[in-house]
Amino acid sequence: MDFKQLQYYLMIADLKNMTQAAAKLHVAQPYLSRQLKQLEQELGVTLLNRTTREMQLTSAGRVLQQRARELLALRQQSIHEITSVRDGQTGTVKIGVVASINNGIIPAWLAQYHRHYPGVQFLIEERPSSEIVKMLREQRIELGIMRTAKPLSGFQQLELPTVPIVMVGRQLIASEKLAHTGIQILKNQPLLVHRYHVDLITKLCHQAGFEPIFLAQVDNSLTLLRLANQGIGVALIPQDWLDLVRMSHLQAQTLAIPELTRPTTVIWQTSRLSLVGRRFVELIDSQRIKINSNIRLP
C-alpha cells in the first residue's frame, strides 16, 4: 500500500462513485478499479460494497478512509515543512506576544533575523499570557514571548534580562532625592499603572505604611504614557517603552524599587519547534537586545 493507492482510495471513498473519482484523478476508470481491487487484496478485506447503482463503505472501508485522510495530510505537511524550511532559509515563525512587551524590542529581533534569513516570514499575534500558553499547546504558534519568570510545565524557557520600572510624569521630584527614596516616592502620588503591577505595588506600599492611590489601571503601557502626558498623574512603565515615545512634556526617572521589574521570557515546546523557530531562539539568546540604562524623554 503506497500513498498513491491511498489517494486513489480516498477519492473513491469520498465520492462513492468510480466514474467521478476517475475523472477527478485524471485516470482511466478500469485502471482505478484495478487499484482498488489490489488494495483490498493486499489488506485482505472488502473496503466497498459495489452494486450497479451505488457504492457503500464497509466498516473496514470507513476506518481506512479516516486513516488515509490523516496519513495523506501528514505526508503533505511533512513535505511542506521539509521543503519550506530547508536549511532554515524559508518558512514561517509563528509567535504569540503579550501586548505589554515593548513593541520596539521585538522588531529589533525580527530585523536581525531577517538580515540572516530574508526568506523567513513572521506571523505575530498579541494575546494574554494564558491564551499564549494554550496556543502553544494547540500548536497554533511555536514561540511565546511573555512577561513571566515562573517555570511552566511542559515548556522550555529562555529568560531575558529584566526591565526596570520607571516613573514618568510632567513634574517629578529631583532625581537625587528620588534615587534614595524607594517606595515612599509613590506616597500621595496619583498612579497610572499596568494591571500586572497593582497587587505588588499595593503590597509594597502597605509594607511601607501607606495606601497607594491608583488613578488608572490599564493593560497597555502606551496608554499610561498618554495619560501621563495629560498631566493627571505619574505612570509606572517598563523602561524599554521610553524608546517608543517622543513626549516633550514628560520626565522619567528609574525607581529605586528592585521588586518592580518586568521579566521577559521566551517559551516553546522543544519537540514542536521548527528549524526556523529554533534559529530565532538562538539568535535572541546570542544577540540579546540590552536595555539602554540612560533614561531619556525629549
Q: Looking at the domain 163-261, which fold is it?
A: D-Maltodextrin-Binding Protein; domain 2 (3.40.190)
Residues in the chain: 298
CATH class held by domain 86-161+263-286: alpha beta
Q: How far is CA 43 from the centre of its chain?
A: 44
Return the pLDDT at 31. 93
The region of weakest confidence among 11-15, 40-44, 236-240 is 236-240
Which of 181-190, 274-283, 285-294 is predicted with the least confidence, judged by mean pLDDT? 285-294
Phi, psi of 173 (to 5 degrees): -65, 150
**pLDDT tens, position by position, 215-263:** 999 987 788 888 888 889 999 988 777 766 666 678 888 787 878 776 7
Q: Give the start-to-end residue ranges of the domains of the chain.
A: 3-84, 86-161+263-286, 163-261
Q: 3-84: which CATH topology?
A: Arc Repressor Mutant, subunit A (1.10.10)
Lowest mean pLDDT, pick from 22-36, 140-154, 162-176, 208-222:
162-176
Containing 222, the helix (H) or strand (E) segment is helix 221-229
Q: Is 163-261 the same fold as 86-161+263-286?
A: yes
**Alpha carbon distance 272, 280 (integer Å):** 14
Question: Does residue 202 surpass a pLDDT of 90?
Answer: yes
Residue 241: is it exposed, middle or buried by C-beta count within 10 angstroms (0-12/13-18/19+)?
buried
The answer, yes or no, to whether residue 192 has pLDDT greater than 90, is yes
| C-alpha torsion sign, points 105, 109, 115, 119 | negative
Residue 270 has pLDDT above 90, yes or no: no
* CA 34 – CA 197 distance, rounded (Å): 70
The pLDDT of residue 165 is above 90: no
Q: Taking the model in full, what pTM does it have?
A: 0.55
Convert the pLDDT of each residue in 67-107 to its tens digit. 999 998 888 877 766 765 566 677 788 999 987 675 567 78
**Res 196: pLDDT:** 79
Q: Cell digits for 136?
A: 502553544
